[in-house]
Amino acid sequence: MAKGRPAGLRLETAARTQIEFQQSSLDDLLAPDHRARQVWDYVEELDLSVLYGRVQTTVSSSGRPAIDPAILVSLWLYATLEGVGSARLLDRLCKTDLACLWLLGGVSVNYHTLSDFRGSAGPVLDELLSQSLTGLIASGSVDVRVLAVDGMKLQSLASGRSFRSAGRLAELHRASVETVRKLRAEVDEDPAASERRIKARRLAAAEDRARRLEKARRAQAKIEKRRDEAASEQRRKEPRKDGGESRASTSDPDARVMKMGDGSFRAAYNVQIKTAVDGAHIVGVSVTDRGSDYGLLGEAVGEIERRYGVTPDKLLADGGYFSKADIETLHGRGIELFCPLPRKGKTDPALPKRGDGPGTIAWRQRMAGERGQALYRKRFATERPHAHMRNHGLRRLLVRGIDKVKAVVLWHVHAFNFLQVQRLALV
């Protein structure tokens, strides 16, 4: 009896040992309008043939059957919508949460399955992004001819202490290769099975470290080459945290030190989001290791053309994308760029400057008029998907490597677009 409960009170108390006979299913327990049901209906309309093609078990084969890929897609899409970005947390929810249990429908999953699927699903999710929007574009529900482009920096798992110079990386790599050689010899020579297994695990860890160090060396060389090219062309350089010596991370070689929104410098990735201004659907996404948005407009146009076979008429971007070379290239293709005029000095930024090409002159005139300003203001439609992603857990990454990072971002892209599809259905 709980402390402080006076005698003589008539109370309805919990009777957890009482045997009850109830006829109910998971389907009965989940509300008819629950989001999990909507997610499942949405996923069932997607073409998952690529995922089904990976399944090795067949009706005629022995062993445990594979988990239906539709279940895993639904779980991660639902989890992302609910702000769950951890495979371990989702694993726990799959044992206790009614919606997750309903999506599973009696199928068992574990942390490793969930984690591996989330990180490896990037190429499929990328294809599904194009697939899910092609019909909407064809029907006119989504218009990619007016495109807003914006970048979002995501902090990596790599710490500042993991970044090493070329010389130090070479030393660490030589040491790791020697460690691998010695461990391989020990594993081959050890007759005891238990000790051999222990040493095999140590060998696997050492080999993984050697691979990461080799990748970091290649990444450092890539950084140095890019900086040399930028300097020779007198282009904007990527932000540096150190005195100029290029460095790469040993824990996440794909990450780069970038200037974040708060002015600090951290290991991060630059996520490029392309949004259809009319409906605010995310129509394109890429992840780059470039710390600046400068010079990335051509990539944005190319992605939309590859996905949908449509060339945008207008691009809306902030000042970080400003490049006279890009403006002239876009102008030559009949694409208008809407980005703010620079406000430096006392001269009118709308007036032509020495070295301006026809595209730059047209851009200055365009942005000086009310039409240009009004259209540019529509760029703030991109703030909506950015805010949604950050509010649903996409602030600091929990995975390493650019491919896994893109996969995580794509889960959030699909979650946002799912909500937009639901909104259109209600109109």
Q: Which CATH number fits domain 122-157+269-401: 1.10.150.530, 3.10.20.810, 3.30.420.10, 3.50.50.60?
A: 3.30.420.10
pLDDT at 92: 96
Nearest to 48, CA basis, from 105, 117, 142, 114 = 117
Predicted local distance difference test score (pLDDT) of residue 164: 57
Handedness of CA 26, 31, 34, 40 (dihedral sign): positive
CA distance 71 to 314: 39
Residue 235, pLDDT score: 46
pTM for this prediction? 0.78
Output the pLDDT for position 60.
59
H or E element, residue 266: strand 265-276
Angstrom distance (rounded) from CA 235 to CA 46: 43
Q: Residue 241's pLDDT is what?
A: 43
| pLDDT given for residue 242 in this prediction | 42
Strand, helix or coil at 173? helix
Side chain identity at residue 326, one-letter code: D
Contact 220, 246 (CB under 8 A): yes
pLDDT score of 234: 42
42-72 burial by CB neighbour count: b if 16+ within 10 A, else e?
bbeebebeebeeeeeeeeeeeeeeebbbbbb
CA-closest candidate to residue 75, choices 45, 46, 112, 102: 102
Cα separation of 318 and 304, whole Å?
A: 19
| Count of CA atoms in the C-beta half-sphere (13 A) of 114 | 25
Could you list the mean pLDDT of each consecutive 10-residue stretch along the chain, which spans 427 residues? Answer: 68 67 79 94 91 74 79 96 93 95 92 93 94 88 91 82 60 65 66 58 68 65 56 45 58 83 87 88 92 90 94 92 90 93 78 88 91 88 84 86 93 94 72
Provide the pLDDT for residue 98.
Answer: 94
What are the structural domain ranges in the chain?
26-49+67-120, 122-157+269-401, 161-249
Which residues have CB under 8 Å from 209's CB, separation 6+?
176
Roughly how many angstroms between the first and final C-alpha of the chain, as a whole number?
Answer: 55
Can you say whether the dihedral through the CA atoms of 92, 94, 95, 97 is positive or negative?
A: positive
pLDDT value for 94: 95
pLDDT at 343: 76
